[in-house]
Amino acid sequence: MNINRKALYNISKFEETINYTFENKSYILEALTHSSYSNENKNYKFNERLEFLGDSVLSIIISDYLFKTEKELPEGELTKLRANIVCEESLSEVASQINLGNFLLLGKGEEATGGRERISILADALEAVIAAVYLDGGIKEARDFIFKYMQEIIENSIKGKIFRDYKTYLQEVLQSKGEHNIWYKLIDEKGPDHNKRFVMEVGINDTVLGVGEGKSKKDAEQVAAKAALKTQNL
């Protein structure tokens, strides 16, 4: 597709920010285009397919790094560590660091309701950008991009300085108080099949302690557990 002058300027400013120049500008244009903008501008592809690919690229690069560097950790601990690094919260922090929200193409409604700061939109867009770099420059460029902006999160996660396993912590706290009937319940699913959002409740007995939303049921459980810890001052 022909990219208009305004979009090209937006792309060039983003390229300056991340210090990477795309050979194929259509990749990064798609990565920066939210579905709400595509709905209003039908000739623009939105970034959900790239988000799907970027999620896998990020996962294999982080998995490879942890496998090679953390030689003594068993599979279960490696899985927890990777989840800590690639979770929505971590990705949105990196997206904010590079001011990704400023470069997104959003529909008018999404713009008006604070879409540029929404954690889910930022995390999804970062995965789409990772995919765009991968398609444009290959796995090495994608790896360089990931480690340029995620190195601190990776190292701090390995050192235990970043803790995002709220579900385990909530369980430990509640059990220490004699509460053993802890449950999680799916209360809603949003979006199309290829890009669902899940809403989970966590509670004890008949009491709801927290509600959370995420791109998977596990992510939503973590967000719900975090909310429970906050609201219950645990």
Q: Which of 125, 158, 191 is the last residue of a domain?
A: 158
DSSP 182-231: EEEEEEEEES-GGG-EEEEEEEETTEEEEEEEESSHHHHHHHHHHHHHHH
Final residue of a structural domain among 158, 175, 208: 158
150 and 113 belong to one structural domain: yes
| pLDDT at residue 156 tops 80 | yes
Average pLDDT over residues 51-76: 96
> Within this chain, do residues 132 and 175 fall inside the same structural domain, yes or no?
no
Domain that holds residue 195: 166-231
| Domain match, 147 and 91 both | yes
29 and 88, same domain (yes or no): yes
Lowest mean pLDDT among 62-76, 126-140, 182-196: 182-196
Judge if 177 and 88 occupy the same domain. Answer: no
Domain CATH number, residue 49: 1.10.1520.10
In sign, the C-alpha dihedral spanning 191, 133, 85, 119 is negative
Residue 165 pLDDT? 84
- 183: CATH: 3.30.160.20
The verdict on whether 219 is a catalytic residue reads no
The catalytic position among 127, 136, 213, 221 is 127
Specify whether 144 is located in the same domain as 190.
Answer: no
- Please confirm, yes or no, whether 127 is among the known catalytic residues: yes
Which of 158, 192, 215 lies at the terminal end of a domain, its last residue? 158
Measured at the CA of 120, the angle between CA 154 and CA 162, to 5 degrees, comes to 25
Same domain, 121 and 48: yes
Mean residue pLDDT across the chain: 92
> Is 16:95 a contact under the CB 8 Å cutoff?
no
How many domains does the chain contain in total?
A: 2
Active-site option among 30, 55, 110, 221: 55
**pLDDT tens string 82-123:** 999 999 989 999 999 999 999 999 999 999 999 899 999 999
For residues 9 and 39, membership in a common domain is answered with yes
136 plus 36 within the same structural domain: yes
Lookup: tokens for 146: 């990931």
